[in-house]
Structure 1
Amino acid sequence: MTAQSRTRRRLLSATTALAMACAAPIAAHAAAVSSGAIKADDVDIGNPIAQTVYLSLRNESGAEAYARAVQTPGPQFHKFLTREEFVKRFAPTDADIAKVESALTQLGYTIDSVFPNHLAIQVIAPAGTTEAALGVKLKRMTVNGRTGMVPTGVPTLPASIRDLVRGVGGLNTLHLAHPLKRSSAIAGQATTTKFVAGATLTGGKPGSYLPQDFATRYNVNPIYANGFTGRGATIGIITLANFYPSDAYTFWKAAGLTVDQNRITTVNVDGGTAIAPSDALGEGETDIDVEQSGGLAPGANLRVYVAPNQTNANFVDAAEAAASENIADTVSISWGQPELDYFAEPSQNVAASTYIMDAFHDVFLEMGIQGQSVYVATGDSGAYDTVRGCPNSGTPSASAPVCNAPYAVDSPANDPAVTGAGGTTLPVTLKLTSGAVLTVAQEQAWSWNYIYQQTAAQGHPIALAYLFSTGDGGGVSSYFKKPYYQVGVSGITTTKPGQSFTEDTGSGPQTLVTLPAKFAGRNLPDMSADADPETGYQFLEEGSIVTFEGGTSFVAPQLNGVTALAVQGTGGRVGLMNNIAYGLGDAATDDITAGDNWGYTGKTGYDNAAGLGVLNATKLANALLTLKSLYGR
Structure 2
Amino acid sequence: MAFRTMRRRLLFTTAATAAIMGAGVCGAGAATPAAVQAQDVAIGDPVAQTIYLSLRKPDEAEAFARKVQTPGANYHQFLSRAEFVKRFAPTDADIARVKSVLTQLGYTVGLVFPNHLAIQVTGTAGATQAAFGVKLKRMTVDGRSGVVPTGTLTVPASIRDLVRGVGGLNSLHLPRPLKVKAAALQTVTPHAAGAALTGGQPGYYLPKDFADHYGVNPIYANGYTGKGATIGIVTLANFDQADAYDFWQSAGIPTAKDRITTVDVDGGTEIAPDPNLGEGETDIDVEESGGLAPGAKIRVYIAPNNTNANFIDAFEATASENIADTVSVSWGQPELDYFAQPGANIPASTDLLDAFHDVFLEMAIQGQSLYAATGDSGAFDTVRGCPAFGTPTAQDPVCNAPYSVDSPANDPAITGAGGTTLPLSLNLRSGAKLTVASEQAWSWNYIYQQTRDQGHPIALESLFATGDGGGVSSYFKKPYYQKGVRGITVTQAGQYLTEDTGSGPVKQLDLPAGFAGRNLPDLSANADPESGYQFISEGQLTTFEGGTSFVAPQFNGVTALAVEALGGRVGLLNAIAYDLGPDGSTDIKGGDNWGYSGIAGYDNATGLGVLNASNIANRLLQLKATYGK
Give deviations 1:401-450, integer Å, cap 9, x for gaps.
Answer: 21110000000000000000000000110111211111001100000000
CA RMSD of aligned residues (A): 1.7
Task: Note the C-alpha offset of 1:21.
Answer: 2.9
Give deviations 1:501-541, integer Å, cap 9, x for gaps.
Answer: 11112222111111110000000000000000000001000
Corresponding residue to 2:371 among 372, 375, 381: 375
Give deviations 1:157-198, integer Å, cap 9, x for gaps.
Answer: 2111112111110111111111111433434664311224xx
Structure 1 SS opposite 2:274: helix
Q: Is the 8 A contact 2:327 2:369 kept in 1?
A: yes
Q: What is aligned with 1:547?
A: 543
Identical-residue share of aligned pairs (%): 70
Q: Are 1:425 and 2:421 an aligned pair? A: yes
Q: Are 1:449 and 2:445 an aligned pair? A: yes
Task: Note the C-alpha offset of 1:280.
Answer: 4.3
Q: What is aligned with 1:74?
A: 72
Corresponding residue to 2:307 among 308, 311, 318: 311
Deviates more, 1:173-182 or 1:222-231: 173-182
Distance in 2 (alpha carbons) for counterparts of 1:489 and 1:162? 38
Distance in 1 (alpha carbons) for counterparts of 2:601 and 2:370? 23
Aligned CA distance change for structure 1 residues 509 and 32 (closer, same or farther; 3 Å): closer
Aligned CA distance change for structure 1 residues 356 and 32 (closer, same or farther; 3 Å): farther
Task: Note the C-alpha offset of 1:556.
Answer: 0.2
Corresponding residue to 1:165 among 136, 140, 163: 163
Q: Is the 8 A contact 1:151 1:351 kept in 2?
A: no
Distance in 1 (alpha carbons) for counterparts of 2:346 and 2:149? 6
Aligned-partner residue type, residue 622 of structure 1: N
Q: Are 1:479 and 2:479 an aligned pair? A: no
Distance in 2 (alpha carbons) for counterparts of 1:348 and 1:371? 40
Q: What is aligned with 1:274?
A: 270
Q: Are 1:565 and 2:561 an aligned pair? A: yes
Matches within 5 A, 1:230-379: 230-345=226-341, 347-379=343-375
Distance in 2 (alpha carbons) for counterparts of 1:376 and 1:575? 14
Q: Is the 8 A contact 1:271 1:307 kept in 2?
A: yes
Q: What is aligned with 1:12?
A: none
Aligned-partner residue type, residue 35 of structure 2: A
Deviates more, 1:383-392 or 1:36-45: 36-45
Q: What is aligned with 2:175?
A: 177
Aligned-partner residue type, residue 345 of structure 1: Q
List alignment gaps of at least 5 residues for structure 1.
1-16
Q: What is aligned with 2:94?
A: 96
Deviates more, 1:453-462 or 1:388-397: 388-397
Matches within 5 A, 1:519-538: 519-538=515-534
Task: Note the C-alpha offset of 1:23.
Answer: 3.3
Deviates more, 1:108-117 or 1:177-186: 177-186
Distance in 2 (alpha carbons) for counterparts of 1:628 and 1:452? 48
Distance in 2 (alpha carbons) for counterparts of 1:35 and 1:608? 34
Distance in 2 (alpha carbons) for counterparts of 1:45 and 1:549? 46
Aligned CA distance change for structure 1 residues 346 and 382 (closer, same or farther; 3 Å): closer
Q: Is the 8 A contact 2:173 2:341 kept in 1?
A: no
Aligned-partner residue type, residue 341 of structure 1: D
Q: Are 1:592 and 2:576 an aligned pair? A: no
Q: Is the 8 A contact 1:33 1:349 kept in 2?
A: no
Q: Is the 8 A contact 2:419 2:467 kept in 1?
A: yes
Structure 2 SS opposite 1:27: coil
Task: Note the C-alpha offset of 1:95.
Answer: 0.8
Tell me the matched-pair count: 615
Task: Note the C-alpha offset of 1:19.
Answer: 2.8
Aligned-partner residue type, residue 548 of structure 2: T
Aligned-partner residue type, residue 117 of structure 2: L
List alignment gaps of at least 5 residues for structure 2.
16-28
Aligned-partner residue type, residue 76 of structure 1: N
Corresponding residue to 1:127 among 120, 125, 128: 125
Distance in 2 (alpha carbons) for counterparts of 1:456 and 1:144? 33
Deviates more, 1:389-398 or 1:264-273: 389-398
Distance in 2 (alpha carbons) for counterparts of 1:500 and 1:90? 37
Aligned CA distance change for structure 1 residues 35 and 484 (closer, same or farther; 3 Å): closer
Q: Is the 8 A contact 1:241 1:283 kept in 2?
A: yes
Aligned-partner residue type, residue 265 of structure 2: V
Normalising to structure 2: TM-score of the pair?
Answer: 0.95
Deviates more, 1:501-510 or 1:457-466: 501-510
Structure 1 SS opposite 2:536: strand
Corresponding residue to 2:10 among 6, 19, 26: 26
Q: Is the 8 A contact 2:373 2:416 kept in 1?
A: yes
Task: Note the C-alpha offset of 1:400.
Answer: 2.4
Corresponding residue to 1:137 among 135, 138, 145: 135
Distance in 2 (alpha carbons) for counterparts of 1:368 and 1:226? 27
Deviates more, 1:447-456 or 1:44-53: 44-53
Aligned-partner residue type, residue 111 of structure 2: S
Q: Is the 8 A contact 2:34 2:499 kept in 1?
A: no
Q: What is aligned with 2:40?
A: 42
Structure 1 SS opposite 2:619: helix
Distance in 2 (alpha carbons) for counterparts of 1:189 and 1:19? 44
Q: Is the 8 A contact 1:474 1:597 kept in 2?
A: yes
Q: Are 1:225 and 2:221 an aligned pair? A: yes
Distance in 2 (alpha carbons) for counterparts of 1:308 and 1:291? 21
Aligned-partner residue type, residue 356 of structure 1: L
Distance in 1 (alpha carbons) for counterparts of 2:191 and 2:276? 18
Aligned CA distance change for structure 1 residues 365 and 36 (closer, same or farther; 3 Å): closer
Matches within 5 A, 1:583-622: 583-622=579-618
Task: Note the C-alpha offset of 1:147.
Answer: 1.1
Give deviations 1:40-99, integer Å, cap 9, x for gaps.
Answer: 122232221111000010110010000000001111100000000000000001111111
Structure 2 SS opposite 1:183: coil
Q: What is aligned with 1:9?
A: none
Normalising to structure 1: TM-score of the pair?
Answer: 0.95
Q: Are 1:628 and 2:612 an aligned pair? A: no
Q: What is aligned with 1:216?
A: 212
Q: What is aligned with 1:514?
A: 510
Deviates more, 1:344-353 or 1:89-98: 344-353
Q: Is the 8 A contact 1:403 1:504 kept in 2?
A: yes
Give deviations 1:211-249, integer Å, cap 9, x for gaps.
Answer: 001001111111111100000000000000000111101
Q: Is the 8 A contact 1:70 1:76 kept in 2?
A: yes
Give deviations 1:286-320, integer Å, cap 9, x for gaps.
Answer: 00000000000000000000000111000000000
Q: Is the 8 A contact 2:441 2:591 kept in 1?
A: yes
Deviates more, 1:228-237 or 1:500-509: 500-509
Structure 1 SS opposite 2:247: helix
Task: Note the C-alpha offset of 1:136.
Answer: 1.2
Aligned-partner residue type, residue 520 of structure 2: L
Q: What is aligned with 2:51?
A: 53
Q: Is the 8 A contact 1:191 1:548 kept in 2?
A: no
Aligned CA distance change for structure 1 residues 25 and 460 (closer, same or farther; 3 Å): same
Q: What is aligned with 1:576?
A: 572
Task: Note the C-alpha offset of 1:562.
Answer: 0.1
Q: Is the 8 A contact 1:25 1:516 kept in 2?
A: no
Matches within 5 A, 1:494-513: 494-513=490-509
Structure 1 SS opposite 2:588: coil
Q: What is aligned with 2:26?
A: none
Aligned-partner residue type, residue 4 of structure 2: M
Q: Is the 8 A contact 1:23 1:480 kept in 2?
A: no
Give deviations 1:468-524, integer Å, cap 9, x for gaps.
Answer: 011000000000000000000000000000101111122221111111100000000
Task: Note the C-alpha offset of 1:101.
Answer: 1.1
Give deviations 1:545-572, integer Å, cap 9, x for gaps.
Answer: 0111111010000000000000000110
